[in-house]
Structure 1
Amino acid sequence: MQLPRAIRLDQSDQHVFERPCEPGEWAVPGGFAYWEVDPASLEGKAQLAFRSGWLGLTSFGHTTLVEIAEIDEAAFFAAVERLARHIEATYGAPNFGHALAAARQEIDDAAALCEHKLGTLLAVERAPSDEGFVERFRVIEPARAADHAKIWQVVPDDDG
């Protein structure tokens, strides 16, 4: 199974977001955090998190980029439970059962975005729309040595 995992290519997330998440955290797009928010009312770092932030599932901070990574079953279910507890505590789910269903749907949706090679980067872009907001995802496939033809080879020197 594959899931988005936070990655930090430079230090910009530490300056862009109020609470940056740590590299290696499992992540979801996190659009649910803006369901009852008027995007036009957001300013500064909150606006940047709305526009381009993925939600880390350990710190519940944000990251600009995620990479597609393998997740084992135990880590998957731990992430679902952690998100459910966050949804219940932060967004007022009526009970843990409802929060668990919402968390599972959110993580299943995030996993559905991961139908690319491991290591592929994903970015999210949110923009206001008539229905609230729209999310678009950008796929960035990094160049990998294994994807290229071998063009030279080191051989022993015959003079020795």
Structure 2
Amino acid sequence: MHVVDTQALAAKSSDPSAVAAELRDRAEIADALYRFGLGQDLKNAELFASAFAADAELDFRPAAARWGASPPLMTGRDQIVGAILAMFTGRVDTTHQVTNVRVAVDGDTARLTALVEAQHLLTADHGVFALLKNPYSCDLERDGDRWVIRRMRIENAWFTGDPTAIFGG
């Protein structure tokens, strides 16, 4: 599921317009994940929603299983945005840092893998927190000039703190 290509660009350097188009796509693909993270951090529903296709799926189950939780698969942009922002707004402060972004573009679809470090702190008591290091795998699709996430799977490499205080058991 990870993007393990041995080079970043597929376009040939002898075709500058193809290279430029691929670089634009890659920037827009990465931006979908940045909109996902910053939309949560700012509790900005419009920005957060802009990361997803209308029929998107978000699978947090692999990550949550690490601490014994079993959340449902979230389906549909409105459900994803509503559920996550309702869980966090006024209760949990978050920061998301995205790194190791790898992208594979195939026409109007793409795959993205990344590592995301997500800090979650109870608003009323920052001493209660969960710091997660999560590998993300995403399938994306072109939406006009931007890209949106169609499927997102979040796994967990490690965590510290108390995820059940943030997400439930």
TM-score range, shorter chain: under 0.3
TM-score by length of 1: 0.28
Q: Going by fraction, where is strand more abundant, 1 or 2?
A: 2
Q: Going by fraction, where is helix more abundant, 1 or 2?
A: 1
Which protein has the larger Cα radius of gyration, Structure 1 or Structure 2? 1
TM-score by length of 2: 0.27
